[in-house]
Chain A
Amino acid sequence: MTELIIKLTSIKNTKATSNNFTLAINQCISSNSITGIFGPSGSGKTTLLRTLAGLEQHIQGEIIFNGKTLLNSKDKIFIKAEQRNIGLVFQNSRLFPHLSVHENLVYAQKRSQQNTLSLDEIITLTELENLVSKQPSQLSSGEQQRVALARAILAEPQLLLLDEPLSALDQHNKIKMLTLLIKIQQQLNIPMLYVSHSLAELQQTADNLLVLAKGRVVEHGNIHQVIQRLNEHHTEITISQQTSLSLAIKQHDQTHGLTELQLDNQQSLYLPLLPEKLYPQGKKIRCFIFASDVSITLQEPYNSSIVNHLKGKITHLNKPANQQQKHSVLLGIDCAEQTFYSQISLMSYKKLNLKQDSEVFIQFKASAIKTLTNSTSLNHIITEESSC
């Protein structure tokens, strides 16, 4: 298990920070998978990543990575970036323009401390076979970012940092890169820290989530639990309230064009048919449902076109935290050991006379369940979040 201990107390003014910015973090991150770092613009996500990488030198505190001290400002220890064996994929690809794609990849491989990865295997893994002889200027932004990812992997880092690597990509390439990231993580088992201001991206990729606001950690833990806490409690971090789930595929119903997900032994959820090749029976998938897509009824909706309906009990009642949502109410409803979130109007809330522990039925369309492959809907979400 990779362990990263971060104790940062302050940062002096540098190019990357404004005058009054302070990074105050005391956090231990233990993970062998992808840890997401989420927060609004100016929360310190990129500065934290650059500090871990060793690109920010004016920092006070301590960083210990797998037992090795990378920074200790008291003892004046600062391990240079090139000696940390930490990789970084930047927002823009930063491919060397004087080298071809192949030469860019070889550049990283030559300088790798282990040099155990096969160049050809990584080229195949990142689907770059047809691009290796090209110059970086001949590539699209999505292709450039794939080369940058392959290049970072070929340096064989012990930890890979990703600084909003999808922000410059179009929707199609975003989906492609996310799928690739997950595949790479699973095959090569590289621990990753993935910075993004898109919760949809992180929900699909990260197992754990670290939430930053104004240079401080405000949440850390399992991705679903953190999203749940962000739904219910936070005023400094505003997200699109949602139910975040990891569910196993029960079966694919080709006749009706639906995929059935197992919620518990008795109950299932249905979403538009997923490709069976990529999603075999039993495989767990990440999905989420926006609270605004979930409605409430007091009687079981037998005669409804909506395919998903579940019985549950209201365990959480949240009056709006901000002005934009002042005419709506967020309900947390426990169904089959999961908490589902529903955002309804204040008028409906009063009309149905809802109270804590009331028994209700929730319902949502199959298309309300968003996944990575369900690309049209995810496209929509990523666009929506980017524009926020």
Chain B
Amino acid sequence: MIDADLIALFTTLKMAAISTIILLLLGTPLAWWLANMQSRIKVIFEAIIALPIILPPTVLGFYLLIAFAPQSNLGQLWLQLTGSPLAFSFSGIVIGSVLYSLPFVVQPLQRAFEQLENHYLEAATMLGAKPLDRFFSIVLPMTKASFITAASLGFAHTVGEFGIVLMIGGNIPGQTRVLSIAIFDHVEAFEYAQAQTLSLSLLIASFVLLTLVYLSNYKKVNHQKVSR
């Protein structure tokens, strides 16, 4: 693997790790809010969050590019706060990744929160546990498997993205040049051997990660069957 590819790998992992942390911090309250929402408006929010699943990444990338432009409100605000533009920056691709991978984190968490019986939370309340205490002592351990699934899917999806990064990040080594773009570059330059190395690495890594996710779910389902 050449140095440029190692830098791309490092950028990819950094982007995926930061995005996953933000996704969990943002996705958990969002999923909790949706799981407990009684109003019919809920479906509109669910549809908005699910959009990246069916939308071509270039469409999301195009609108983000407009939103991130230095002349846009968001772009100007970011420029004033940080002193650097948002478009074609590492921060930009992290924001793009978070939006793009949001449904992969929110949906499993929302399902888990919906299935979690309110009975346990009431019991904890009657023992004097306050809301945050209840979340960390009851909700989190009881939905641990769903958090692992959500984090893994969010991470893997971020590693694998291409369209949005290309639209809003460009191809700046050490900044926005991630593995998927590096592969594209190698193919364009007819460097099939390098492309093959990176592609196979990604393929194996993704396969291993997904197998681990399904294994944790398999164990959970079997444990529940035995418990019954």
Q: Which residues of A contact B (CB under 8 A)?
A: 53-55, 81-82, 85-88, 90, 92, 94-98, 107-108, 111-113, 137, 151-152, 155
A155 x B125 contact (CB < 8 A): no
A81 x B126 contact (CB < 8 A): yes
| A95–B126 CA distance with the chains assembled, in angstroms | 12
User: What 6 A-B pairs have minimum CB-CB distances, sorted nearest first?
Assistant: A111-B128, A94-B123, A88-B126, A137-B227, A98-B141, A108-B127
B126 x A152 contact (CB < 8 A): yes
| A108–B141 CA distance with the chains assembled, in angstroms | 17
13 contacts between A and B (CB under 8 A): A81-B126, A82-B126, A87-B126, A90-B123, A92-B119, A94-B119, A96-B123, A96-B142, A98-B141, A98-B142, A111-B128, A113-B128, A151-B127
Sample of 5 more A-B contacts, CB < 8 Å, known A96-B138, A151-B127? A82-B126, A82-B128, A88-B122, A88-B123, A155-B127
In chain A, what residue has the closest Cβ to B226? A137
- Which residues of B are found within 8 Å of A54, using beta-carbon distances? 125
- Which residues of A are found within 8 Å of B124, using beta-carbon distances? 96, 107
B129 interface residue per 8 A CB criterion: yes
With known contacts A98-B141, A98-B142, A82–B125 Cβ distance under 8 A = yes
Q: Which residues of B contact A (CB under 8 A)?
A: 119-120, 122-130, 133, 137-138, 141-142, 227
| A86–B141 CA distance with the chains assembled, in angstroms | 26
- Which residues of A are found within 8 Å of B129, using beta-carbon distances? 82, 107, 111
In chain B, what residue has the closest Cβ to A92? B119
With known contacts A94-B120, A96-B138, A86–B126 Cβ distance under 8 A = yes
In chain A, what residue has the closest Cβ to B123? A94
- Which residues of A are found within 8 Å of B120, using beta-carbon distances? 94, 96-97
- Which residues of B are found within 8 Å of A152, using beta-carbon distances? 126-127
| A213–B90 CA distance with the chains assembled, in angstroms | 67
- Which residues of A are found within 8 Å of B141, using beta-carbon distances? 98
- Which residues of A are found within 8 Å of B227, using beta-carbon distances? 97, 137
In chain B, what residue has the closest Cβ to A99? B141
- Which residues of A are found within 8 Å of B123, using beta-carbon distances? 88, 90, 94-96
- Which residues of B are found within 8 Å of A96, using beta-carbon distances? 120, 123-124, 138, 142
Prevailing SS type, chain A contact patch: loop
Query: How far apart are B133's CB and chain A's nearest CB, in angstroms?
Result: 8
In chain A, what residue has the closest Cβ to B223? A137
B126 x A155 contact (CB < 8 A): yes
In chain A, what residue has the closest Cβ to B142? A98
With known contacts A55-B122, A94-B122, A96-B120, A111–B142 Cβ distance under 8 A = no
- Which residues of A are found within 8 Å of B122, using beta-carbon distances? 55, 81, 88, 90, 94
| A155–B126 CA distance with the chains assembled, in angstroms | 9
Query: How far apart are B112's CB and chain A's nearest CB, in angstroms?
Result: 13
- Which residues of B are found within 8 Å of A53, using beta-carbon distances? 126
Query: How far apart are A45's CB and chain B's nearest CB, in angstroms?
Result: 17
| A296–B125 CA distance with the chains assembled, in angstroms | 55
B125 x A111 contact (CB < 8 A): no
| A97–B141 CA distance with the chains assembled, in angstroms | 10
| A212–B227 CA distance with the chains assembled, in angstroms | 38
Query: How far apart are B92's CB and chain A's nearest CB, in angstroms?
Result: 40
In chain A, what residue has the closest Cβ to B131? A82
| B119, B122, B130, B142, most chain A CB atoms within 10 A | B122
B125 x A81 contact (CB < 8 A): yes
| A197–B133 CA distance with the chains assembled, in angstroms | 35
In chain B, what residue has the closest Cβ to A109? B127
- Which residues of B are found within 8 Å of A113, using beta-carbon distances? 128
Query: How far apart are A43's CB and chain B's nearest CB, in angstroms?
Result: 21
| A98–B123 CA distance with the chains assembled, in angstroms | 14
| A252–B133 CA distance with the chains assembled, in angstroms | 54
- Which residues of B are found within 8 Å of A87, using beta-carbon distances? 126-127
- Which residues of A are found within 8 Å of B128, using beta-carbon distances? 82, 85, 108, 111-113, 155
| A152–B127 CA distance with the chains assembled, in angstroms | 7
B125 x A107 contact (CB < 8 A): no
Query: How far apart are A171's CB and chain B's nearest CB, in angstroms?
Result: 24
With known contacts A97-B227, A98-B141, A107-B137, A55–B125 Cβ distance under 8 A = yes
| A157–B142 CA distance with the chains assembled, in angstroms | 26
| A151–B129 CA distance with the chains assembled, in angstroms | 13
| A86–B128 CA distance with the chains assembled, in angstroms | 9
B142 x A107 contact (CB < 8 A): no
Query: How far apart are B222's CB and chain A's nearest CB, in angstroms?
Result: 14
| A53–B137 CA distance with the chains assembled, in angstroms | 21
- Which residues of B are found within 8 Å of A85, using beta-carbon distances? 128
| A95–B138 CA distance with the chains assembled, in angstroms | 11
| A183–B30 CA distance with the chains assembled, in angstroms | 47
